[in-house]
Amino acid sequence: MSEDQTAGDRGRGRTLRGVVTSDKMMKTITVEVERTVPHKHYSKYIKRRAKYHAHDERNEAKIGDQVQIVEAGPGSKMKRWRLQNIVEKARN
């Protein structure tokens, strides 16, 4: 990294969008991200799901919220993501 380049200029990691499935941990949420991929042989699209643990500093995300998470450095054994923003609040 050169002298005139700061840490903020280095580009961000991947961002994903998903639904909060758990907020029971302190400052941590579980986000389920769903993506569609084409089947190898049948050319149909199938849904694939993955769950990520993300850091939520202010405990503001609740179950059912649509959120956007961004890659971050290791926060703990399982946390590698950080909450970027809440896209849509859950309707309760």
In a domain, 60, yes or no: yes
Identify the CATH number of the domain in which residue 73 sits.
Answer: 2.40.50.140
CA distance 58 to 38: 38
In a domain, 4, yes or no: no
Q: How many residues does the chain have?
A: 92
Task: Give the model confidence (pLDDT) of 39-86 as tens digits.
Answer: 999 989 999 999 999 999 999 999 999 999 999 999 999 999 999 999
CA distance 63 to 50: 16
Instruction: Please give the tally of structural domains in the chain.
Output: 1
CA distance 89 to 92: 9
Partners of 73 in beta bridges: none
In a domain, 2, yes or no: no
What domain range includes position 82?
9-88
Task: Give the model confidence (pLDDT) of 11-45 as tens digits.
Answer: 678 999 999 999 999 999 999 999 999 999 998 99
Name the pTM for this structure.
Answer: 0.82
Q: Is 7 helix (H, G, I), strand (E, B) or coil?
A: helix
In a domain, 71, yes or no: yes
